[in-house]
């Protein structure tokens, strides 16, 4: 007999070992996320995928589904918490979307649209992290990093190059390039690496394609992220 | 019975007037709007100070002392204050100077720029003093609503205002929600 749990009041079937995120997605329910990726083990750092199970907050990307669980996800309470997390990410970096090449293709921005975040609410920190344009094909704009570590994981586990890592803790945490000079141009990073193509925001950018697709005609200009993300499931 | 008209005030602080241009892009809705509202202080009326109003629309962030005075005047007079556009909401383009030291920034523009020899940083007492950082308006006063976009499109501004004027909670659907 198939086992089920309740997701926002609807039964969702699951198989052994599936997380709440995987089972919910397979059943057609979108859960917001930034650091989760279908091809990688759960990372659990962005906390956008929090849901409430039996009154407790859990990361749905990491928690295995269990028979009879009651999961709350798309509720005003949880969405308000997700919005607050997004707002903190916006003020921690420098997200001036109108001049960002990723605008319209950016998952952080798309989730802000999805969760109706109209303002960043908190005081902006306006960090000053210099841009690294030393690589012939790629550009690094560190001021937009959200610390999802997708580039770190892709470069280490798939490309086998370990080009990126995070250093320091708390508000001082930041992305660094593993080269003695600290510059991307001094690594064997290539634009065909998975790490060059996995950044959900506008940190790791390909040069010379910036606005080839005009603003207004990009992925999340056309459709909300809840729709785009679920199309990959089919 | 005709409803008394709502009073609206608008201003541009550290902005480019692009949001005001976009406001005019509501095109024929302007005819509907003037039936429902009248304008107080605004670049459209050239009234210099804001009186008691129902709605205040603020474009631009806060980059100098005059912006602070104007913003406070709006907050004191407007029942509902709305931040319109990227600069009012997060500082926008002017705030991209925030990681630079202000003095160095001014000297770069007025003294060291190519073709400027013997130039000086303007210091006429009539000029409002610059703040060392550009701030979104919600860091200075309480803001009731935010209309994102650079600029928000005419349809976005119209949707928001028509909701508000009709007494509905303003809500932007996906196609009207843009940060760029
Ligand atoms: S990374 Fe995303 S949220 Fe940040 S400035 Fe670019 S488009 Fe905006």
Q: Is A26 helix (H, G, I), strand (E, B) or coil?
A: helix
pLDDT reading at A223 higher than 70: yes
Instruction: Evaluate whether residue B165 is within a structural domain.
Output: yes
The pLDDT tens digits of the residues spanning A96-131 come to 999 999 999 999 999 999 999 999 999 999 999 999
Are the CB atoms for B25 and B154 separated by under 8 Å?
Answer: yes
Judge: A97–B136 Cβ closer than 8 Å, yes or no: no
Q: Is B35 helix (H, G, I), strand (E, B) or coil?
A: helix
Judge: B150–A97 Cβ closer than 8 Å, yes or no: yes
The ranges of chain A annotated as CATH 3.30.70.20 are: 100-226
Region B22-34 average pLDDT: 95
Are the CB atoms for B26 and B33 separated by under 8 Å?
Answer: yes
Helices (H) and strands (E) in chain B, counts: 6, 7
Angstrom distance (rounded) from CA A109 to CA B178: 9
Instruction: Evaluate whether residue B118 is within a structural domain.
Output: no
- CATH class of this structure's domain A100-226: alpha beta
Residues 6+ apart with CB under 8 A from B115: none
In this prediction, residue B117 carries a pLDDT of: 79
In this prediction, residue A134 carries a pLDDT of: 98
Region B138-157 average pLDDT: 98
Q: Is A24 helix (H, G, I), strand (E, B) or coil?
A: helix
Q: Are strands B37-39 and A204-206 parallel, antiparallel or unpaired?
A: unpaired
Pocket test of ligand 1: the residue of A93, A102, A120, A221 to mutate, having most ligand atoms within 8 Å of its CB, is A102
Question: Which of A93, A117, A124 best tests the B interface by mutation, with the highest count of B CBs <10 A?
Answer: A124
* CATH entry, A3-74, from 3.30.1360.70, 3.20.20.140, 3.30.2310.20, 3.10.20.740: 3.10.20.740
In this prediction, residue B118 carries a pLDDT of: 81
Are the CB atoms for B77 and B102 separated by under 8 Å?
Answer: no
Number of domains in chain B: 1
Region A40-55 average pLDDT: 96
Mean pLDDT of chain A: 96
Which tokens sit at A11? 């039964």
Provide the shortest C-alpha distance from residue A98 to chain B (in Å): 4
**Domain span including residue B54:** 6-97+134-172
Q: Which of A65, A53, A54, A56 is nearest to A21 (CA)?
A: A65
A119 touches chain B (CB under 8 A): yes
Which tokens sit at B138? 């919600």
Angstrom distance (rounded) from CA B19 to CA B86: 9
Region B33-42 average pLDDT: 96
Confidence class for position B114, pLDDT limits 50, 70, 90: confident
Instruction: Evaluate whether residue B122 is within a structural domain.
Output: no
Closest to A118 (Cβ–Cβ): which among B99, B139, B146? B146
A100 touches chain B (CB under 8 A): yes
Q: How much of chain A exceeds pLDDT 70, in percent?
A: 100
In this prediction, residue A177 carries a pLDDT of: 98
Strand partners, A6: A11, A70
Chain B residues 73-92 with a CB less than 8 Å from chain A = 83, 86, 89-92
Q: Is B81 helix (H, G, I), strand (E, B) or coil?
A: strand
Model pTM score: 0.96
In this prediction, residue B142 carries a pLDDT of: 98
Q: In b/e form, how buried is each residue of B129-159, taking b as 16+ CB within 10 angstroms?
A: ebbebbbbbbbbbebbbbbbbbbbbbbbbbb
The ranges of chain A annotated as CATH 3.10.20.740 are: 3-74
Angstrom distance (rounded) from CA B66 to CA B13: 9
In this prediction, residue A1 carries a pLDDT of: 67
In this prediction, residue B1 carries a pLDDT of: 55
Provide the shortest C-alpha distance from residue B4 to chain A (in Å): 30
Q: How much of chain B exceeds pLDDT 90, in percent?
A: 92
Which tokens sit at B163? 């909701």
CATH of the domain at B149: 3.40.50.700
Q: In b/e form, how buried is each residue of A191-226, taking b as 16+ CB within 10 angstroms?
A: eebbbbebbbbbbbbeeeeeeeeebeebebbeebbb
Q: Which of A109, A105, A101, A108 is nearest to A212 (CA)?
A: A101
Q: Is B134 helix (H, G, I), strand (E, B) or coil?
A: strand
The pLDDT tens digits of the residues spanning B61-109 come to 999 999 999 999 999 999 999 999 999 999 999 999 999 999 999 999 9
Instruction: Supply the DSSP symbol for B170.
Output: P
Judge: B89–A118 Cβ closer than 8 Å, yes or no: yes
pLDDT reading at A234 higher than 80: no
In this prediction, residue B119 carries a pLDDT of: 85
Q: How large is the ipTM?
A: 0.94
User: What is the CA(A98)–ligand 1 centre distance, in A?
Assistant: 8
Which tokens sit at A82? 């997700």
B178 touches chain A (CB under 8 A): yes
Ligand 1 atom with the shortest distance to the CA of A100:
6
A107-114 vs A76-92: helix crossing angle, rounded to 10: 140
Number of residues in chain B: 180
Judge: A124–B95 Cβ closer than 8 Å, yes or no: yes
Terminal Cα-to-Cα distance of chain B (whole angstroms): 42
For A191: left if phi > 0, alpha if psi spans -120 to 50, otherwise beta; the answer is alpha
Q: Which of A54, A195, A69 is nearest to A135 (CA)?
A: A195
Provide the shortest C-alpha distance from residue B159 to chain A (in Å): 14
Instruction: Evaluate whether residue B138 is within a structural domain.
Output: yes
Name the residue with tokens 């990093």. Answer: A145
User: What is the CA(B35)–ligand 1 centre distance, in A?
Assistant: 39
pLDDT reading at A46 higher than 90: yes
A218 touches chain B (CB under 8 A): no
């Amino acid at each position: 007999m198939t086992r089920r749990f309740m997701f926002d009041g609807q039964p969702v079937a699951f198989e052994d070992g599936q997380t709440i995120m995987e089972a919910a997605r397979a059943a057609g329910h979108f859960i917001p996320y930034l650091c989760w990726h279908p091809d990688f083990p759960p990372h659990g750092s962005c906390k956008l995928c929090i849901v409430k199970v039996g009154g407790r907050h859990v990361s749905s990307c990491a928690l295995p589904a269990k028979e009879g669980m009651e999961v709350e996800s798309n509720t005003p309470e949880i969405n308000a918490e997700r919005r607050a997390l997004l707002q903190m990410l916006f003020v921690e970096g420098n997200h001036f979307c109108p001049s960002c090449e990723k605008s319209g293709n950016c998952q952080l921005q798309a989730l802000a649209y999805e969760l109706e975040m109209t303002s960043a609410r908190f005081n902006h920190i306006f960090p000053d992290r210099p841009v690294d344009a030393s690589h012939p094909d790629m550009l690094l704009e560190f001021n937009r990093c959200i610390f999802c570590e997708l580039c770190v994981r892709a470069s280490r586990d798939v490309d086998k190059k370990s080009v990126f890592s995070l250093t320091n803790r708390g508000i001082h945490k930041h992305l660094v390039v593993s080269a003695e000079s600290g510059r991307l141009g001094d690594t064997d990073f290539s634009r065909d690496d998975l790490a060059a193509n996995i950044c959900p925001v506008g940190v790791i950018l390909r040069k010379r394609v910036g606005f080839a697709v005009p603003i207004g005609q990009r992925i999340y200009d056309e459709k909300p992220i809840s729709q785009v993300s679920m199309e990959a499931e089919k | 019975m005709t409803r008394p008209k709502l009073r609206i005030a608008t201003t541009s602080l550290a902005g480019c007037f692009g949001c005001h241009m976009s406001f005019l892009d509501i095109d024929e809705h302007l005819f509907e709007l003037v039936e429902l509202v009248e304008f107080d202080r605004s670049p459209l009326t050239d009234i210099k100070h804001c009186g008691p109003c129902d709605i205040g629309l603020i474009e631009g962030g806060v980059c100098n002392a005059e912006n602070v005075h104007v913003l406070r005047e709006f907050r004191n007079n407007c029942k509902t204050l709305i931040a319109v556009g990227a600069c009012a909401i997060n500082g926008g383009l002017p705030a991209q100077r925030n990681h630079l030291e202000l003095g160095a920034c001014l000297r770069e523009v007025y003294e060291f720029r190519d073709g400027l020899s013997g130039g000086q940083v303007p210091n006429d007492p009539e000029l409002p003093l610059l703040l060392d950082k550009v701030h979104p308006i919600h860091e200075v006063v309480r803001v009731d609503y935010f209309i994102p976009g650079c600029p928000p499109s005419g349809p976005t501004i119209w949707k928001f205002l028509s909701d508000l004027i009709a007494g509905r909670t303003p809500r932007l659907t996906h196609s009207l929600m843009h940060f760029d």
